[in-house]
Amino acid sequence: MAVAQIRILSKTDIEKVHAMTLEMLTEPGVAVHSEKALSLLEHGGASVDLESMRARIPEELVDETIRMLPRTMKFGARNPKQDMVFPRDGPPYMATNGTAVYMTDLRTGERRTTTGKDLADFMTVCDAMEPLDYVWPLVTAHDAPDETHALSELAICLLGTTKHVQGEAMSAEEANAQVEIASSIAGDEDALAKRPLFSVIQCPICPLEFERGSIEATMEFAKAGIPVVSMSMALMGLTSPVSLASTIAIVNAENLASFAISQLAKKGAPVVYSSESTSPNMMTGEIHYGALEEILLAAAAAQMAEHYGAASMVGGFGVGLAGESPGIHLDPAELVFTSSTILTGTDFASGIGGLDRAKGSSLEQVVMDCDLWECVRELRKPVLFDDAHFALDLVRSVGPGGTFLKELHTVRNMKKELFIQNSEKARNTALYQLDRDQEVALRSARERVEKILLTHRPERVDADTKSRVDKILAKHQRR
């Protein structure tokens, strides 16, 4: 079997990145602002300095961490048919963008802050869109209490879609509250551990630093069997040296250090190697999503994850990220990056529905991005090289100068082997040609969103489960 993919690191390069990573993990080491996490690392063989909150992680602990990584994982969903499994064959599982602070109003087009009701609407649309495999909370529920907004957003998503949900937590207490809510939906904590209905992104502070709340949340999630995505977010020239080699090594070091803490908390804890690293705009200091360096870093990170036998989440897809309003907003660099995510070999990716460098979102953008992702993901369809696919007997039968158009083999296999959209989907994607008026595409997407909100009803949990979730939310919001 063959698949289209980008490989930028040779075997020698991979070995060099690993060797430089081991050097970084011992000197300067990693800053870990948690005595609990430092104690775990010390017990595992790291050298710990409590005064500086520094851990130096030796090669032996790195090797043991890699040996403990799970080689298979299941990311559960309320609908078991939508479970995701690792290893992944074919294109990456695709998610939405996450936690935008504003959206464009569906009816007026004006920018406004978002509420829990908006997030619920996004979940309804996401639940209806087949190309989406899992979801982040696309927008922030600003009407939820500040201390529990992530908990509220997780609950809204778990109740609003049957797909897997990916969130975040900033403390051990918040992590345990999220596990409590998901357990009430899954049945109990054992059922949740077997088929975790949610996973979390926990970001190191680049370079080489772990904030107390986030890393202690990571430890709690590890013990509960909730997959943790260790998303390194290096910015070349700001939070990492302005070189691809050094940045890749820092990304690698942050992921391995996070993995070590997870595996020491619970052997075999589900983890995902991740990077959303890129270069900044050196004129403004802003993150440059879609920079050419981002695709190189993403491809390298996917290779390093594969080297360790770990799942990976890198890259992104979304044609609206450069604009502040719904539509197709791509400069040439972003076009390359958006299309190339599929070729990095990653298991998971995200970005659907995002606007304005991920600060905004829109319901129409979710629909448009899903239409285009459905086309692009076909690039990663496996190509089989067994005897049946060589069809040698057919070639002999037709012979030189013949045609295969009238053959039964063509009729039986063309929809399996070729990307052929039905007429409705073909009409939708035809609207996105750049020489056409985008307002026509936007109007079509808006109409489809309105129809989904009127007619699509995601499968609901039963009344008793909903009541339990509400009580858990209320309990934590009173604290």
What does the pLDDT look like over 357-403, one tens digit per residue? 889 999 999 999 999 999 889 888 888 899 999 999 999 999 999 99
Q: Determine the pLDDT at residue 333.
A: 65
Report the CATH number at residue 153: 3.20.20.480
Phi, psi dihedrals of residue 128, rounded to the nearest 5°: -85, -15
Q: Determine the pLDDT at residue 346.
A: 94
Question: Averaged over 145-171, what is the pLDDT?
Answer: 95
At residue 421, does pLDDT exceed 80?
yes
Q: Determine the pLDDT at residue 334.
A: 67
Q: Determine the pLDDT at residue 332.
A: 65
In a domain, 375, yes or no: yes
At residue 301, does pLDDT exceed 90?
yes
236 and 265, same domain (yes or no): yes
Q: Determine the pLDDT at residue 409.
A: 96
411 and 327, same domain (yes or no): no
273 and 397, same domain (yes or no): no
What percentage of the chain reaches a pLDDT higher than 70?
Answer: 98
User: What is the enclosing helix (H) or strand (E) of 56?
Assistant: strand 54-56
Q: Determine the pLDDT at residue 411.
A: 95
At residue 54, does pLDDT exceed 70?
yes
CB of 275 within 8 A of CB of 231? yes
At residue 470, does pLDDT exceed 80?
yes
pLDDT band at 141 (very low <50, low <70, confident <90, very high): very high
In angstroms, the CA 37 to CA 211 distance is 10
181 and 203, same domain (yes or no): yes
pLDDT band at 308 (very low <50, low <70, confident <90, very high): very high
Segment 178-208, tens digit of pLDDT: 999 999 999 999 999 999 999 999 999 999 9
What stretches of 203-335 adopt beta strand conformation (E)? 209-210, 228-232, 271-275, 311-316
In a domain, 332, yes or no: yes
Work out how many domains the chain is built from and give that number.
2
In a domain, 460, yes or no: no
92 and 224, same domain (yes or no): yes
Tokens of 324: 């502040």
Q: Determine the pLDDT at residue 439.
A: 93
* H and E: helices and strands count for the chain: 18, 18
| Average pLDDT score over the chain | 94
CB of 83 within 8 A of CB of 195? yes
Question: Averaged over 84-108, what is the pLDDT?
Answer: 94
Three-state DSSP state, 243: coil
408 and 369, same domain (yes or no): no
Segment 310-362, tens digit of pLDDT: 999 998 888 888 889 999 987 666 677 777 778 889 999 999 999 998 899 99
In a domain, 58, yes or no: no
Q: Determine the pLDDT at residue 160.
A: 98
SS3 content of the chain, % helix, strand, coil (to 5): 50, 15, 35
Q: Determine the pLDDT at residue 172.
A: 97
Interior angle at CA 404, CA 399 and CA 408, nearest 5: 115
215 and 354, same domain (yes or no): yes
In angstroms, the CA 347 to CA 379 distance is 14
Q: Is residue 241 packed enough to be buried (19+ CB in 10 Å), middle (13-18) or exposed (0-12)?
A: middle
329 and 277, same domain (yes or no): yes
Alpha helices by DSSP H, listed for 327-462, are 332-340, 363-376, 387-390, 392-398, 408-417, 423-430, 438-455
400 and 326, same domain (yes or no): no
137 and 121, same domain (yes or no): yes
366 and 396, same domain (yes or no): no
280 and 397, same domain (yes or no): no
Range of the domain at 225: 67-380
Tokens of 39: 């104690």
pTM for the model? 0.94
Q: Determine the pLDDT at residue 331.
A: 67
In a domain, 99, yes or no: yes
pLDDT band at 94 (very low <50, low <70, confident <90, very high): very high
Residue at a domain's end among 328, 359, 380:
380
CB of 97 within 8 A of CB of 126? no
Segment 250-265, tens digit of pLDDT: 999 999 999 999 999 9
Question: Averaged over 24-29, what is the pLDDT?
Answer: 98
In a domain, 22, yes or no: no
In angstroms, the CA 351 to CA 92 distance is 12
In a domain, 190, yes or no: yes
What percentage of the chain reaches a pLDDT higher than 90?
Answer: 81
Three-state DSSP state, 10: coil
In a domain, 52, yes or no: no
pLDDT band at 475 (very low <50, low <70, confident <90, very high): very high
